[in-house]
Amino acid sequence: MADDLTRRAEPLPQRARRQKQAKFGKWRKERLAMKGQAFSADFVLAVMIFLVLFAALMLAFGSIIDFSVADDMSRHLELLTANIADQLVTGSGHPSGWESNPAAASVIGLASSDRILDPDKVSALAALDYDTAKRLLKTEGYGFFIRLAGAGITAGLPASGNLAAYARRFVMLSGNSETLELYLWRQT
């Protein structure tokens, strides 16, 4: 009984400290029991915001990539068009005199000298079938159309694709000033 009395007679600050520790221990056990339960409204909201931002980023990135690829294709087509136009008006073709035997030609050129076109080569090009002319012009699978407007001479097919490039070169044909127009386009 004396033991009981001593325990009860324990100073007040020690008793309060023990009660506090007991409450903290109980609270700690409850928190540990809830460990890993992160499902709450805040968590759901954070995940939704992340997903919306991630989707917006992916859409923007996809648009940038599509634009970049289309721009590269357009630039390539413009460069190819300019190169073929220059080849036609400055080169004589290979082999020399290809216009007498177009089947033996490896490259078409229309010039007898720089920007002065040979009428026989122009006629030979106009007489070639579309696929042969396309192969000899090395259009890389693009469709083509060539026009000497003043002379009324055309070769190829009018543009029917959605990505097109155009080159114009001023030339002489049979002593007359002419404009050679070359169109290349992606065939659909």
Which uninterrupted H or E stretch holds 119? helix 119-127
Confidence (pLDDT) at 23: 67
Q: Yes or no: say if 144 and 131 are a contact pair by the CB < 8 Å rule.
A: no
Mean pLDDT of the chain: 83
Between CA 167 and CA 182 the distance in angstroms is 5
pLDDT, tens digit, for every residue of 164-180?
899 999 999 999 999 99
pLDDT, tens digit, for every residue of 35-89?
555 567 778 888 899 999 999 888 887 777 766 766 777 888 899 999 999 999 9
| Residue 10 three-state SS | coil
Enter the tokens of residue 102: 């177009």
Confidence (pLDDT) at 57: 86
Confidence (pLDDT) at 150: 87
pLDDT, tens digit, for every residue of 75-102?
888 999 999 999 999 999 999 889 999 8
| Lowest-pLDDT choice from 3-17, 125-139, 155-169 | 3-17
Q: How is the chain split into domains, by residue range?
A: 74-185
Q: Yes or no: say if 135 and 103 are a contact pair by the CB < 8 Å rule.
A: no
Confidence (pLDDT) at 118: 95
